[in-house]
Amino acid sequence: MCLIFFFSSLNQETPEPPEANVAQHQITDEYPNKKRILQELDILQAIKGNKNVIGFYGAFYHPASVKMPEREGLWISMERWSGVTVQDLIKTRRSLSEDWIAYICREVLQGLCHLHKQEVIHHDLRPQNIIVTSSADVKISNSATMGTSSVSTSGTIPYMAPEVLSNISTKTIRYNSKADIWSLGISALEMAEGYYRKSDNFRAFIREILQKNVAWRPSAEQLLSHPFISNIPNERGTISIYCSYSYNILGLSYIYYNSITKAAHNKG
């Protein structure tokens, strides 16, 4: 019998059961991606514990059995979340207000600060890999693309920084974590698409990020002090609006909606 351990970052007052996503990876000595998976585990262990990165709770190996041979493999336990990706928000709303964009970008930058301090590059930061939970927590997901390599060309082309794109054919050009910053800038533009009343602060924020010269492109830590995200005018109201919106599109229970709205008012 396969033992699945459940973990949770929720407190005991939250009316949701403790649970986690447990994913199976077939990993044997012959498995060609064994090294990659073990490297991913090392990275997950190094970056865990940050509120803006999807949580890692552990992993265990399940041996083969006569009754359930398909259970053999490495099982990885990750934080389970209730919410939507930023890509989902863009699809349902077409564009986001600047307050929403500023809030999401600030939370993502906090997560990137944590990754980059551990010398980890995400490599594929984009709206589909940014999660906004039903209680308005913003989390970076998709650990499969994260790595310390600075010559990797993994990722999604429209969001790749110029230095990464130029590396596709040669794979010899070394780059740094500022490639993730470019990807965030493209993602922010996508969030704002169709929103015509762009402020001077937003335009300046994008100009600073989308610097082709890496030396001029700011780090995640430097961007956290940018006026666009350092002082969000109506942050609490923005969070409350999102919680109400997530309640409507996710069909959450009334009790759970009240709990996340209360939590949202306590943020900040």
192 vs 98: CA distance, rounded Å = 7
What size, in residues, is the chain?
268
**Exactly one of 29, 99, 124, 200 is catalytic; which is it?**
124
The partner residues of 133 in beta bridges, in order of sequence, read 83
Q: What sign has the CA pseudo-torsion 245, 80, 56, 176?
A: negative
Q: Are the C-beta atoms of residues 92 and 245 closer than 8 Å to each other?
A: no
Question: Is 171 within 8 Å of 153 (Cβ atoms)?
Answer: yes
Q: Are 83 and 132 in contact (CB under 8 A)?
A: yes
Active site residue 124: yes
Give yes or no for a contact between 165 and 156, defined as CB atoms under 8 angstroms apart: no
What is the DSSP code string of 156-184?
Answer: -GGG--HHHHTTTTT------THHHHHHH
Q: With contact defined as beta carbons under 8 Å apart, do 129 and 141 qualify?
A: yes
Helices (H), the chain: 34-47, 86-93, 98-117, 162-165, 178-192, 200-209, 220-223, 227-230, 235-250, 254-265
Return phi, psi of residue 59, to 5°: -150, 155
Q: How far apart are the first and last CA of the chain?
A: 45
Contact 99, 112 (CB under 8 A): no
Which amino acids are annotated catalytic?
124
